[in-house]
Amino acid sequence: SVPLSFFGGIGAASKQGILVKGSNYLEALNSVDAVAFDKTGTLTKGQFSVVDVASQAGIAKDQLLQMAASVEQNSTHPIAVSIMKAYTGKLLSIEDANEQAGHGLTALINGQKVVVGNAKAMKADGIEFTEADAIGTIVYVAVDGKFWGDIVIADEPKEDAQKAIELLNNRGINKTVMLTGDNEKVGTAIAKKLHMSDVYTNLLPENKVEIVNELLTESHKDNKKVAFVGDGINDTPVLATADIGFAMGGLGSDAAVEAADIVIMGDEPSKVSKAIKIAKKTRRIVT
């Protein structure tokens, strides 16, 4: 039977905006030795803003933004929101919009295929393009098989993110891993700033699952557990893979909240440490 004190622990956690879906997860938190984090929306604000637009010869910057914004108009991804904010003109109507996790989007505009996304998206469509050399998340745009240019957007770490890593380190949890679909420059710059131990970039959702499986193999050897913290719909598979999946409920998608074992209300990743602290206390009362 479940010790009553675990319910006490669940209650204490919920008062702090941490919703634990079962006492077994609270118990498992005692053994965590590695925490993996999604980047966008989890460690960073997820509020991108357009900092540069570079178009190929013969294409106006405004035209490039119009194409990108039109394709992104139905997407709720933070990148889409920032592009929509930067383009205030008239949107073109789109057909057959298709969003691909970790890549970007494609849609038809006036019968022409428009691709908006990262280098992977361009390669997948066989577009010849020039890699931009900026520190930022770079969104490339191609129309009818031709490269039109790129949009550079920037996102910042949350104020709470550094504290989240620091508090884990203070608890002796030194394996703090960033898993991101974003490019290497951005991923490594942010991971370094936050003093994280490991960073993996250019990942598709299935790659995140692979890496968490590797972490599980390592941790389980020592009877330890792996937690993953994410916010997006893309994070659903990896939330289910980790021993303990945390969803950030503030900005998080319903699917992520559903797949998670623990839901953090609001947007503070440092609540992961708070949850571990409550788990340790709960355990002390039980034994």
In the annotation, is 38 catalytic? yes
Binding flags for Mg ion, 1-40, as an x/- string (CB under 5 A): -------------------------------------x-x
Considering only the stretches 21-29, 90-98, 101-109, 263-271, report the one whose residues sit in contact with ligand ADP under the rule CB under 6 A: 101-109
- In whole angstroms, what is the distance from residue 167 CA to residue 154 CA? 26
Closest CA to 89 of 57, 53, 64: 64
Choose which of 182, 243, 261, 267 interacts with ligand ADP (CB under 6 A).
182
DSSP state, 11?
H
Residue placing its CB nearer to ligand ADP in the complex, 23 or 44: 44
Q: Would you tell me how many other CB atoms lie within 10 Å of the CB of residue 254? A: 10
Closest CA to 52 of 34, 73, 68: 68
Told to check if 41 binds Mg ion by CB under 5 A, we report: yes
Told to check if 155 binds Mg ion by CB under 5 A, we report: no
Determine which helix (DSSP H) or strand (DSSP E) holds 150, and give its type and residue range.
strand 146-154
Told to check if 75 binds ligand ADP by CB under 6 A, we report: yes
Residue 240 CA: distances (Å) to CA of 134, 196, 262: 34, 23, 11
Determine which helix (DSSP H) or strand (DSSP E) holds 153, and give its type and residue range.
strand 146-154
Interacting residues toward Mg ion by CB under 5 A: 38, 40-41, 232
- Residues with active-site annotation: 38
Interacting residues toward ligand ADP by CB under 6 A: 38-40, 72, 75, 77, 79-80, 99, 102-105, 116-118, 137, 139, 180-182, 232, 234
